Amino acid sequence: MVIKKKYDVVVVGELNVDLIANGLPKFPEVGKEIIANQFVTTLGSSSAIFANNLSAFGTKVTFTGKVGNDNYGDFIVASLQARRVDVSNIIRTGKQDTGVTIVLNYDEDRAMVTYQGAMAAFTLGDIPDSVLEQARHLHLSSIFLQEGLKKDIVSLFKKAKRLGLTTSLDPQWDPSEKWDIDWENLLGYVDIFMPNQAELKAITNTTTILAAVDALRSFFNILVVKNGREGAVVWTGSDSIHQPAFFNNSVVDSIGAGDSFNAGFIHAFLQGGGLKECMEFGALMGAINTTSSGGTMAFENMSRVKEIAKSSFDYTL
């Protein structure tokens, strides 16, 4: 008998607001001031962008993480609720403030400064088994911003597999550049590993993507490597599929494009799609992300997503 779960996906991750400066003439220099043409406050964090956009596709999502008892915490919870993400498992704390990321966008590149706040205090003990048991799939992003959880990441994914969940992980960048996780032990419990090219090279201490893949080949199940305008490649053992990017000639910014790719891929995966279908849907969602500022503004609902797919990329969903 198949047991119907309350949620399709439980997202475990960091929560912060993004304060985004767009339209910079160049990156700032120490002691000098420049003018931004636009400033936006929006839902940030890779995990929340992923959850928000996945929910917009109609996938049932619950989120577990930690924010402060402050205005930014209120903003995050309300933003996720507005996109139909279940927030009953988000913890509010008076001990730390909500995390904040300041984003400076110049052309298609960006610089970021993050204050971790409450996200660094989130631990494995804050994730009851009952939350995992209600979901089909576990996704985690940005483990290096979650210091309280990082030491137990293998235990978390091992538990998820024991409870019958499929799993995915996007490690994101390590600000300390130590990459100090037991990857050999961890990746056996990760069904879909989703770094970008720079992260994968750093994790494996290699200089080429093929060398990086070879270094992990004995450990990963499905490896998805994102590389911006070069598209993405998925490996299963020695087999690979390259997915070209969908080009947007009027990029607003690329914040959250990788997270939107992840959301598209996991949505198609949970619908039973093959890897080629998952890659194409992921690439399209990554491109749609770039049509609006921030990582979530293009993903109000599936009707809006279909409209942008058709008008901007001549793609019918």
Residue 310 backbone dihedrals phi, psi, to 5 degrees: -75, -45
Residues 6+ positions from 19 with CB-CB distance below 8 Å: 39, 40, 41, 100, 101, 102, 103
Give the pLDDT score at 105: 84
Give the pLDDT score at 166: 98
Give the pLDDT score at 293: 80
Beta carbons within 10 angstroms of residue 234's beta carbon? 21
Residues 121-155: tens digit of each pLDDT: 999 999 999 999 999 999 999 999 999 999 999 99
Taking Cα atoms as reference points, which of 187, 125, 121 lies closest to residue 158?
187
**Model pTM?**
0.93
What are the helix (H) ranges across the chain?
A: 46-56, 71-82, 129-133, 147-150, 153-162, 183-186, 197-204, 209-216, 257-270, 275-289, 302-313
What Cα–Cα distance (Å) separates residue 274 from each residue in 69, 109, 267, 269? Answer: 42, 32, 12, 7
Q: How far apart are CA 299 and CA 52, in angstroms?
A: 8
Q: How far apart are CA 61 and CA 258, in angstroms?
A: 18
Structure token pair of residue 50: 């992923």
Identify the bridge partners of residue 67 per DSSP, sorted by sequence position: 92
Taking Cα atoms as reference points, which of 35, 17, 23, 18 lies closest to residue 252?
23
Taking Cα atoms as reference points, which of 263, 271, 13 lies closest to residue 136?
271
Query: Residues 283, 246: contact at Cβ < 8 Å?
Result: yes
Give the pLDDT score at 263: 98
Residues 250-267: tens digit of each pLDDT: 888 888 899 999 999 999
The band of 249, judged by pLDDT with boundaries at 50, 70 and 90, is confident
Residue with tokens 């019918």: 316
Give the pLDDT score at 178: 97
What DSSP string runs through 268-295? HHHTT--HHHHHHHHHHHHHHHTTSSTT
Beta carbons within 10 angstroms of residue 238's beta carbon? 8
Taking Cα atoms as reference points, which of 124, 108, 53 lies closest to residue 255?
108
Q: How far apart are CA 78 and CA 82, in angstroms?
A: 6
Query: Residues 194, 200: contact at Cβ < 8 Å?
Result: no
Q: How far apart are the first and last CA of the chain?
A: 33
Note the Cα 65 to chain centre separation in Å. Answer: 14
Identify the bridge partners of residue 7 per DSSP, sorted by sequence position: 135
Domains identified in the chain and CATH numbers = 7-14+46-96+118-313 (3.40.1190.20)
Query: Residues 80, 53: contact at Cβ < 8 Å?
Result: no
Residues 92-111: tens digit of each pLDDT: 999 999 999 999 988 777 88
What DSSP string runs through 65-90? EEEESSHHHHHHHHHHHHTT-EEEEE
